Amino acid sequence: MQAAGRPRLAALLHAVTVLVIIAYPLAVWLGLRNGGMGVLAPILMVTFILRLLTFRGKLSQLTALRRTLAAAGLLFAAASWLLHESQMLLYYPVVVNTLLLLLFGYSLLSPPPVVERLARLSQPDLPPKAVSYTRRVTQVWCVFFFLNGAIAFYTCLKGDVALWTLYNGGISYLLIGLLMGVEWIVRKRVQRA
């Protein structure tokens, strides 16, 4: 009975850490607004430790990326807590975008691109037209990560936590969803052609 419960517990911990990381900007805003660095930083540290321990992925590069992001989040949270410097927490979205840009950009120089690798998980025999398309989509994501990271960096420098939260916890997610939606529509049209 104990062995059967372990996968469920791991799945639950994984789901909780994903939710906390998605809500990271809101959690930081609430923590900073209420002066709760003494509570916020340890919660974030535990979350990133659990993320390190529970994440499993289908692509080794994405697994390494997510573990690196968890380690970076842990480092920012621990440094903020130890140094009593909350500003460091704001740079996590910048690191996320920078690492994603590096991963996607590197995959263009060392094919196959990330989007092609993801596409091959569900369709191993991609036609040449699809391979070309996945390369273009990878390029689009590189531009997105560059621009999104630059805006996230600007919100850090601005020092307005409400603006930082609005962009990194709201607008940025909407832009990601919009890009994914547009890409899905374009992909369906390309597949029909």
pLDDT at 48: 84
Looking only at Cα atoms, what is the longest distance across the chain?
A: 57
pTM of the predicted model as reported, rounded to 2 decimal places: 0.81
pLDDT at 150: 98
Residue-wise pLDDT for 138-186, tens only, equals 999 999 999 999 999 999 999 888 899 999 989 999 999 999 999 988 8
pLDDT category at 21 given cuts 50, 70, 90 is confident
Cα angle: 64, vertex 67, 68; to 5 degrees: 85
**Residue 10 reports pLDDT greater than 80:** no
Residue-wise pLDDT for 24-78, tens only, equals 887 788 777 776 677 778 888 888 888 787 766 655 666 788 888 888 988 988 8
**Of 129 and 8, which is predicted with more confidence?**
129
What's the average model confidence in pLDDT over 77-105?
89
Q: Rg of the chain over CA atoms, in angstroms?
A: 18
**Through-space distance between the first and last CA atoms of the chain, rounded to whole angstroms:** 53
Residues 6+ apart with CB under 8 A from 16: 47, 50
